[in-house]
Amino acid sequence: MQEEQNNRDEYFMRLAISEAQAAYEEGEIPVGAVIVANGRVIARAHNQTETLHDVTAHAEMLAITSAASMLGGKYLNGCTLYVTVEPCVMCAGALGWAQLSRIVFGAPDEKRGYSTFAPKALHPKTKVTRGVLEKDCKALMQSFFASRR
């Protein structure tokens, strides 16, 4: 059971990583997200803050808006968000409002992550799994910032 869940988590995290790679290629900080309901991907998005000139265009925010539009309702209970990097305060606040069942992230973000700055931002029932494909998620970020120096 646990191994099956791990495999599933890695599968969906790989999709999130492919979104992060798309961000990378567009010159965006490489963060990608997918939202899954009943084993199906209902939204995928990557960071587009530069392209859209909009600080709110984080991968998670775009994925939430897209998933809610797909479902026709603003609450995403029953859904799992996979995101390559720990959500920031803004995204965690949005995830809290949307009441997702579960959040899975890859790399931690000590500088901006919600677990440091807004540890109670998520809905109390939301389960969090951290560290899935962490190395791959982190490597993408490190490579991006190294290329910018």
Residue window 89-128: x/- pattern of binding to its own copies, with contact defined by CB under 8 A = xxxxxx-xxx------------------xx-xx-------
Catalytic residue among 60, 86, 110, 134: 60
Total site size for its own copies, rule CB under 8 A: 29
Q: Does 56 bind its own copies (CB under 8 A)?
A: yes
Where does the chain have alpha helices with state H? 2-25, 59-71, 89-98, 114-117, 134-148
63 to each of 22, 36, 50, 142, how far by Cα in Å? 15, 10, 17, 23
Q: Which of residues 71-90 bind its own copies (CB under 8 A)?
A: 72-75, 88-90
Please identify which residue in 22, 31, 43, 61 interacts with its own copies, judged by CB under 8 A: 61
Q: How far is the CB of 8 from its own copies (least distance, A)?
A: 26
Question: Toward its own copies, which CB reaches closer, 85 or 132?
Answer: 85
Q: Does 21 bind its own copies (CB under 8 A)?
A: no
Helix (H), strand (E) counts: the chain? 5, 5
